[in-house]
Each structure stands twice: as C-alpha cells, then as structure tokens.
C-alpha cells in the first residue's frame, strides 16, 4: 500500500485537537468553504462540532470588520474565538490556530496577509511529466488524462490552504498540444473536479492558455488580439468556462517567450494581447496573469550588445499603465532566471501603473533538483527585503506589489511548485520546508528563515533532541550550494537542458544568451553603462550608482555586473581566483560535515525520512565534488594561478 506523507500535518501531533470542541455561529453563510471547515473538524481531525456555544473551545464568528485576514482571540485558557469577514479567512484562521497550538506559543493575533495573491504555479504537463519537476510525476495527470486522485489532491489542497495559498495554476506555462484543449468542453468537467476540491479550501484555480488557441482549435486563421473574431472567440470560451466553473480564477499566459505564441506575430504589443484576454474574463471577474519572461532566445554569442538581463524591462517598462485592471504582470524576482544568486529585477519599483506579481521558484531547477539540500527561504528573505530605492525612505521589494499596483487585490507573489507523485511529495523530504515556507512568506514576508524553519520542524517532526543539527544543516544549505556552484553572481555554468551539475561552458556559445566570458585574465559580464551593456541604468539612481561602480558593487554580485581580472581583490581582501578555490573547497567540506552530522538523527526520525535524506546527501556530495573539481581545474587552467593553500587541483 502506498502511504502518502502527511507533510506538516503529521497526525501524531493532533491528539490535542481531537479532544477539542468547535462551534460555528449559525449566521455564517454555508458556502462550500464553510462546509469543508466542518468536514475538516469532524472528519480529518475527528474533533467535535457542538451546537451549544458555551460547550466549545473554539468559536467561529463572522465579523465584517476583520478584513482581510482574521483575528484569533484568546478568551481564556479554555476558549478562543476566530473572527473574519469571509469563510476563507475563517478556514485559514482555523489552520493558523492549530499550527500554533502545536508550536505552543499561541497568543492573540490579528493576521493580515502582506500579499493579496499567493499562488502556486504547476508546470505539470497533461502526459504526467512535470517540466522542472523533481518529485515524480504529476499529481493531476497521466497519459493525457486526469488522474482523479481525490485523496491526494485534497491532501495537497489542505497543505496549501494551511499556509494561506489562495491561487493555483494547474498546468505548465508552456502549453503543448493536448493542454491547449484544457479549456475545451472535452476537458472542462475534469478541470471543474479539481476546481471544486481546491475551491473548498479557498484556492482559486487558473489554467495556462495558449495564445494561439483560436487557431489551434481549428476555428480561426488568426490569433490577432485586435481581430474581432478572435476577441469573440475568447469571450465565448470564457462564457463556457464560467458556466461550468463560476469561481474560476482566470488565465496564466507565457507569450512570445521560448517559442510560445503571442501578440508579436501580429505586430501587437503585450498590453494589446493581455487586455484582449482580460476583456473576455472581466464580466466573470477573472484575471489574466501575464508573464514578463520575454527575451531573445535566439542570440548570437558573437553579438555583445544583446543582454538577456535587460529584456523584461526593455519589453515592459514602456507599457506601464497600458494594462487593464484585471491584468497582472508576473515578474521573475531576478532579471535572468531563478539563479542561486542574481540581483532583483529592476522593473520592481519602476512600474507605477501596472499590477504586479513577484515570481519565485520553489522547485529546485537551478538550485539542486531536490537532490541537494537547499533551504530557499534564505534567498527569498533577502530578495524580498531588497530596497529598490524607488521610495522614501525606502521601498522594499516585499511592499512593491501592494503599493505599486493600481488594483492591489490583483497583485502578490507566485512560485513554481515542487510537488509530484513521490510518497513524500517533494523527493527530498527536507524540500517540503520550501513549500511550507513559501506560503508563510507570501503571507508575512518579515518572518525570518529561522522562524519558519522552527515552525516547520516542529510541525513535521515534533520534538527533536538534535534539533540544532537539522537546523544547522538547513540554515547553511543555501550558502553551501552557492559556494560550490557558479561564483559571485555569474550564474548558469550548469549542464544544458537539465540544469543540474557543472558545465562551465555549457551555455557560453548557446542561443539562450547567458555568458561568463572567462578568459586567461578574468571573467564576468560587463553590464555597466560605461563599458558594458548598460543594464545597470535600469535601476533607480542609488542602485545604479552602487552596481555601476566596481568599488561599491556587492561582492556576491560582482561577476553579474562586472568583468574583472582573477587578481581583482574583493572586499574581504581575497582575490577572485582565491575566492573561487576557497568556496569550492569549503562547499564540499560543508556537505561532508552534513553527512557526518546526519546520523545523529537516526534514532529520532522515522526510518523512511532518515534514509531519504541520507541517500540524497550522498548524491549531493558527488555533485559538490564534481562542481569543485571542474570549477577549480577550469579556472586554474585559465588563470595559471595556483591555490595559495596548495589543495588538490586536477591541473
């Protein structure tokens, strides 16, 4: 029998809850979310729903003034009330209360989310594969059919709802042939099946659509957004969808990007393309989430003027203010592509009149494939607290969606999800923390990586004797991964296509256009105005000045912005070449340390979890060693400069 991991709903923890009594005030409108709340109490937690308020430990109250979010009020040792204006917030308040109960530090709290949209994007294909998926096949599809796995999807919906996720896109943004027809009558009944499950948990379902659908369906010869028949086609389509699924969220669109069709084919811009779809959805209150991941993927490495980092800003800044109210731009947090280290995308803070979503990647495409341990909260925390310098006294990235979007409720954060059909959802058990953590920072960006990790560990494993061991491993894991992979923000250097393991020149002469320009003297990409691609100028003045100047550019981003000699001295006094050697040797030592520490947890964890991480750590070590040796050898051969500690380099 397959037993699916309970993730942070580890049943062991719920003995307390089972003994509790819940009361729901009768004036609350009984929608599907409220029904589900009752069901969660009675069936999932096997606790009691009582009909007399005075008998209850937890009372749910509808209160129109508590919006958005909820208030959990402790009346006395025995009783709390959960107040909110909407049933979805009552449900979220319920989980919040339970999770905190487990963590034993519960107090009165008024919780309001930082972001209105808190979304997970699935890159699942209808055939069951997942683009950039590292935990088995899709939980939704197999062989161009829906799996109809009610139980698994419900468990997943509960996991997401418990951390406040409220939107989900069900299919890959690269919309292949069969997926194009997910919006056809043939498949919509099954989409509805999923939408109903997620809907009960307060999560709206969206679909990625193919911009050329009118053509692919065989109905029209064009997909020109200004063509009336095309507009009509999408309106009819929207009507059909909403007839079946009244709370459908809307469309997610990757257009004119990496081969996906879009408005450029008709000489139209992205605003014209997005607005056309938005107008079809508007009568139904649906939204269009339009991605800004648009760049020239047919570059010539000989051409030094094209810079992929510039692309989103170059394509979208001029369109600021041209998008309809129900369009939201989904913008990757960095200018390139979810690298371990890259600066924050300069569109943030610069866009003033356009709804925005910041996009992250929970799935570990460039960050270790869920083989290597990489607790990504470190990266996200740092990114979200970046000062764009577009505000007084500051404008941190985390505040951009709410403050710079004309319709704040159509703004927020999204992340590409990391689950698959593996029994433990994420391949590496510890990668569950990234999914949990994404939901938590989407709600409250000021929670620190340490706080979130403590919550997750407590919920997942309960009390641990060697808590410090697992914390030490996870909290240093992001820095460790960075240490043994590409240095100082240069990025990529990964195996082409699959993006795991080193391939220093893998993309150097490729059409996707990401380069390190290493030669015998040095490396890095010159993105300065003075001598490079001019990308630095896309930032607000203060950040432009900081990045443009070699002396003020932060070391960790040095090679993203500048081409320097191997002998260039970093702020800590080391040369670039010595930094490369040191970090690569140290990175491997760190992984060895993890392997040495892990056995301390053997008696405390379930054998399946213990073994799972151990096995992944062994693979991580191989990967780290390969990175170390290839990087050190490559740069030694290039520079001819030896390691000042004379460690082993395969010259």
**Binding footprint of ligand GCW on the chain (CB under 6 A):** 123, 131-132, 172-174, 254, 293, 337
**Shortest Å, Cβ 366 to ligand GCW:** 8
593 burial via Cβ count (<10 Å: 0-12, 13-18, 19+): middle
Nearer to ligand GCW, 172 or 428 (CB): 172
Question: In 10 A of CB 570, how many CB atoms?
Answer: 15
Nearer to ligand GCW, 245 or 255 (CB): 255
**Shortest Å, Cβ 497 to ligand GCW:** 8
Nearer to ligand GCW, 5 or 260 (CB): 260
Residue 42 has which token pair? 């009675």
Nearer to ligand GCW, 129 or 174 (CB): 174
Torsion of CA 268, 272, 274, 276, to 10 degrees: -120
In the chain, % helix, strand, coil (3-state, to 5) comes to 40, 15, 45
- Rounded to whole angstroms, the Cα distance separating 554 from 190 reads 50
Catalytic residue among 121, 337, 455, 482: 337
Nearer to ligand GCW, 156 or 333 (CB): 333
Nearer to ligand GCW, 449 or 491 (CB): 491
Chain residue at closest Cβ approach to ligand GCW: 337
Q: Give yes or no for a contact between 212 and 223, defined as CB atoms under 8 angstroms apart.
A: yes
Q: Give yes or no for a contact between 486 and 419, defined as CB atoms under 8 angstroms apart.
A: no
Radius of gyration of the chain (CA): 25
Q: Is 337 a catalytic residue?
A: yes
Nearer to ligand GCW, 218 or 259 (CB): 259
Strands 70-76 and 117-121: unpaired
Catalytic residue among 40, 269, 365, 422: 365
Helix axes 432-443, 449-461, angle to 10 degrees: 130
**Shortest Å, Cβ 317 to ligand GCW:** 20
Q: Is 365 a catalytic residue?
A: yes
Residue given tokens 């009691």 in the structure block: 48
Nearer to ligand GCW, 96 or 293 (CB): 293
**Shortest Å, Cβ 499 to ligand GCW:** 7
Q: Coil, helix or strand for 297? A: coil
Q: DSSP character for 124?
A: B
- Rounded to whole angstroms, the Cα distance separating 79 from 55 reads 10
Q: DSSP character for 553?
A: S
Q: Is 78 a catalytic residue?
A: no
**Shortest Å, Cβ 121 to ligand GCW:** 9
Catalytic residue among 42, 148, 243, 258: 258
End-to-end CA distance of the chain: 52
Q: Give yes or no for a contact between 198 and 205, defined as CB atoms under 8 angstroms apart.
A: yes
**Shortest Å, Cβ 132 to ligand GCW:** 5
Nearer to ligand GCW, 224 or 260 (CB): 260
Q: Give yes or no for a contact between 487 and 501, defined as CB atoms under 8 angstroms apart.
A: no
**Shortest Å, Cβ 120 to ligand GCW:** 14
- Rounded to whole angstroms, the Cα distance separating 115 from 48 reads 33
**Shortest Å, Cβ 381 to ligand GCW:** 22
- Rounded to whole angstroms, the Cα distance separating 412 from 256 reads 23
**Shortest Å, Cβ 550 to ligand GCW:** 29
What's phi and psi for 269, nearest 5 deg?
Answer: -95, 180
What's phi and psi for 387, nearest 5 deg?
Answer: -90, 115
Q: Give yes or no for a contact between 592 and 468, defined as CB atoms under 8 angstroms apart.
A: no
Q: Write down how long the chain is.
A: 651
Strands 141-142 and 109-111: unpaired
Active site residues: 258, 337, 365
């Amino acid at each position: 029998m397959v037993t699916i991991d309970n993730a942070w709903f580890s049943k062991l923890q719920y003995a307390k809850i089972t003994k509790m009594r819940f009361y729901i005030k009768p004036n609350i409108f009984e929608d599907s979310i409220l029904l589900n709340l009752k069901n969660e109490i009675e069936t999932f937690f096997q606790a009691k729903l009582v009909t007399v308020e005075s008998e209850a430990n937890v009372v749910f109250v509808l209160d129109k003034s508590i919006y958005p979010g909820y208030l959990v009020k402790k009346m006395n040792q025995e009783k709390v009330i959960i107040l909110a204006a909407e049933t979805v917030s009552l449900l979220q308040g319920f989980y919040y209360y339970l999770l905190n109960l487990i963590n034993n530090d519960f107090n009165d709290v008024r919780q309001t989310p930082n972001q209105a949209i808190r979304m997970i994007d699935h890159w699942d294909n209808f055939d069951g594969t997942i683009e950039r998926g590292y935990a088995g096949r899709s939980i939704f599809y197999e062989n161009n059919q829906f799996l109809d796995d009610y139980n698994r999807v419900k468990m997943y919906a509960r996991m997401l709802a418990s951390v406040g996720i409220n939107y989900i896109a069900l299919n890959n943004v690269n919309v292949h042939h069969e997926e194009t027809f997910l919006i056809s009558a043939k498949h919509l009944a099954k989409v509805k099946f999923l939408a109903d499950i997620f809907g009960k948990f307060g999560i709206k379902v969206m679909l990625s659509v193919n911009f050329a659908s009118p053509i692919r369906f065989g109905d029209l010869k064009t997909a020109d957004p200004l063509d009336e028949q095309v507009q009509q086609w999408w309106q009819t389509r929207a009507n059909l969808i909403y007839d079946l699924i009244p709370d459908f969220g809307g469309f997610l669109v990757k257009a004119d990007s990496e081969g996906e069709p879009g408005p450029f084919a008709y000489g139209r811009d992205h605003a014209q393309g997005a607005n056309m779809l938005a107008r079809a959805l508007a009568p139904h209150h649906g939204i269009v989430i339009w991605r800004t991941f648009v760049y020239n993927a047919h570059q010539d490495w000989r051409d030094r003027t094209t810079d992929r980092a510039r692309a989103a800003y170059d394509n979208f800044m001029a369109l600021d203010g041209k998008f309809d109210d129900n369009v939201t731009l989904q913008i990757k947090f960095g200018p390139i592509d979810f690298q371990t280290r890259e600066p924050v995308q300069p569109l943030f803070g610069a866009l003033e009149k356009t709804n925005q979503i910041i996009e992250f990647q929970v799935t570990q495409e460039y960050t270790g494939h869920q083989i290597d341990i990489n607790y990504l909260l470190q990266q996200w925390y740092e990114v979200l607290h970046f000062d764009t310098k577009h505000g007084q006294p500051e404008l941190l990235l985390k505040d951009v969606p709410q403050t710079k979007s004309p319709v704040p409720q159509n703004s927020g954060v999204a992340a590409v999800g990391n689950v698959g059909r593996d029994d433990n959802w994420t391949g590496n058990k510890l990668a569950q923390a990234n999914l949990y953590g994404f939901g938590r920072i989407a709600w409250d960006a000021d929670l620190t990586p340490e706080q979130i990790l403590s919550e997750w560990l407590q919920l997942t494993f309960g009390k641990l004797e060697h808590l410090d061991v697992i914390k030490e491993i996870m909290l240093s894991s992001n820095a460790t991964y960075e240490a043994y992979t590409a240095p100082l923000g240069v990025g990529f250097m990964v195996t082409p296509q699959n993006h795991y393991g080193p391939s220093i020149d893998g993309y150097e002469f490729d059409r996707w256009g990401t380069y390190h320009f290493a030669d015998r003297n040095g490396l890095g990409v010159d993105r300065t105005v003075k001598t490079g691609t001019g990308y630095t100028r896309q930032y607000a003045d203060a950040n432009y000045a900081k990045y443009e100047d070699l002396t003020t550019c932060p070391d960790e981003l040095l090679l993203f912005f500048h081409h320097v000699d191997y002998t260039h001295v970093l702020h800590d006094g080391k040369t670039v070449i010595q930094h490369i050697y040191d970090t690569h040797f140290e990175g491997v030592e760190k992984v060895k340390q993890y392997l040495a520490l892990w056995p301390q947890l053997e008696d405390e964890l379930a054998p399946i979890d213990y073994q799972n991480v151990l096995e992944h750590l062994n693979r991580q070590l191989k990967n780290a060693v390969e990175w170390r040796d290839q990087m050190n050898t490559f740069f030694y051969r290039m520079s001819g400069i030896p390691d000042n500690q004379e460690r082993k380099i395969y010259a």
